[in-house]
Structure 1
Amino acid sequence: MDTSLIGLFCIVDDFCQVFLPHWKASLLEHQDKQRNKPSRMSTSEIMTIMIYFHQSHYRNFKHYYQREVQGHLKKYFPKAVSYNRFVELMPTILLPLCFFIAAQRKTPTGIYFVDSTVLRVCHHKRSHQNRVFKGLAKKCGSMMGWFYGFKLHLIVNDMGELMAFKLSQATTDDRVVLPEIAQGLTGKIIGDKGYISQDLFNRLYEKGLQLINKIRKNMKNRLMPIIDKILLRRRGIIESVFDQLKNISQIEHSRHRSVNNFMVNILAGLAAYCLQEKKPSLNIQRNLLTN
């Protein structure tokens, strides 16, 4: 018996039991009539399969679906549809996944870390051949070279919990996104040199959030509290989160055939991370006492 899969399904199904009636009522209220072909698979099953993929260590979703869902896990999903039909159903869980992630635990610890990572959708030299993301993805340079795709912006707390996220075009400045995803947060937020901006610092500070980052070599040195120095040295926590999202989960690959399913894959990966029992975390209190 796969207890991890059963536990995951129970969590997802409990959420769907609450969310779906409100969602359907909202669609009726706004007279948003969607003509969708009925599926023999439930929303809970589709969401569970997508999230479980990111916990399975498979690199290819088609292989995972055909070998696991239609194979070893067939007894858990007796009404599993064909792979092609499942791909057609994936967009139906886009909005439920957004709300599912929003419903996960977010502890306002007062200590947060922000950064962005690139999501390549194809090699930048083949960008002119890519039709799926034409007009959406952008070509941009990074520390690792040129890429064609998007940026994923994250804020996590010192416990590794996902506080906020946003997907943007590759050319979007990190400083433009931060005020939007940091709404409602107070305390300290630690970023890299890409977030250096006096105007941004002032805007966040007025809302109770202190932006902390290292200074560039051509900037004047300034005194910094020891606590802030400690937090800057611990900024690697968010890099660990990105590493898990890309190497344990599979939020970045170049086999997407639709924009909606690209989004569903990212959201399912984020949901899988939110449900991890062990996340990258810091013992801030102990560090402060011993430094």
Structure 2
Amino acid sequence: ACGLHCIPDRRTFDRRFKIIPVQNIITSMGLLFIKQGFVEDGVAAVDSAMVRCKKVWHKSDMQKGRIPISGIDTDARWGYSKAKGWIFGYKMHVSCSTGKIVVPLTADTSTANVYDPHMYDILVEPLAGLVSYVAADSIYSGGEQYDYSESKGIVLVCPIKRYRHTKGERLKRCHFFKSTKGQRIIRRRGAIERLFDRIKDTFGIEPLQVRGMHNVSSHVLMCVFVYQVAIYYNCMMGVKNPQRVKHVIGI
């Protein structure tokens, strides 16, 4: 199969797996969905999701450099989630389409303590010229994210506070967010939260079965890529609901 005379050894797969540029492949696949018209190109959404480790490394032990039990991932870090509280692990950062078919467009990973806006540029840069709006959570409402989006021809829409002396560009952004169009765009942000749930459920990502930043990144991003491929296959086959992918990947 695949032009091979024999099945490669597991170590060969492990070695190749570590050098595959999965993040770039995900981006190429995401843009393919847009260019072939399988997803709407008007509004994308950006967000992150925590992915917890099997075992936790308490802060008191971390500060002392003490590993009390085996199996602790020493690369992982503590991060706070509004919905789940403190979690020891990593984050997957994703941008996705928000229409009838919700599919990852770009993706990356980090430890759980990384501030979401620091990953914004990486997720949005490939979308320049392909989407008009990005819907996001209020954590992305800093001026840097707005300015970067505008430099790429994209309008960032997220909950933004208006203060007593708010003026200039921030005031314009507040007005747009509260407008009928702004509210219609921000409602589409819910698509990415459902996407995270589907990916986690489909691949059983949580709790993580691997340790170490490199291994976790490879594992999580490969799950995102396989999810993309399964949806793409369904689209090509004319499946009524392309997002039903478990049968495609044998789950």
Task: Give the TM-score normalised by the residue count of structure 2.
Answer: 0.68
Distance 2:211 2:91 in 1: 19
Q: Say which of 187, 208, 222 aligns to 2:175.
A: 222
Which range is displaced more, 88-97 or 204-213?
A: 88-97
Q: Deviations over 1:14-48 (max 9, x none)?
A: xxx8xxxxxxxxxxxxxxxxxxxxx9524xxxxxx
Q: Say which of 76, 82, 85 aligns to 1:137.
A: 76
Q: Deviations over 1:158-210 (max 9, x none)?
A: 34232211111222111111012211423110001111112321222122111
Amino-acid identity (%): 19
Contact 2:57 2:72 in 1 (8 A): no
| Equivalence map 1:206-221=2 (5 Å) | 206-216=151-161
Aligned with 2:120: secondary structure? helix
Distance 1:209 1:117 in 2: 23
| Cα RMSD after superposing both structures | 3.2
Partner of 1:111: 43
Aligned residues: 203
Extract unaligned runs of 5+ from structure 1: 1-8, 18-38, 43-80, 281-291
Would the alpha carbon gap of residues 218 and 148 (structure 1) be closer, same or farther in structure 2, given more than 3 Å must change?
Answer: farther
Contact 1:120 1:148 in 2 (8 A): yes
Extract unaligned runs of 5+ from structure 2: 36-40, 167-173, 235-241, 245-251
Distance 1:213 1:254 in 2: 31
Shift of 1:266: 1.3
Partner of 1:155: 95
| Equivalence map 1:1-291=2 (5 Å) | 40-42=6-8, 86=10, 89-96=13-20, 98=22, 100-104=25-29, 105-107=32-34, 109-124=41-56, 128=67, 129=69, 133-134=73-74, 136-143=75-82, 144-158=84-98, 159-186=101-128, 187-216=132-161, 222-223=175-176, 224-257=178-211, 260-275=214-229, 276=231, 277=234, 278-279=242-243
Task: Give the TM-score normalised by the residue count of structure 1.
Answer: 0.59
Would the alpha carbon gap of residues 103 and 217 (structure 1) be closer, same or farther in structure 2, given more than 3 Å must change?
Answer: closer
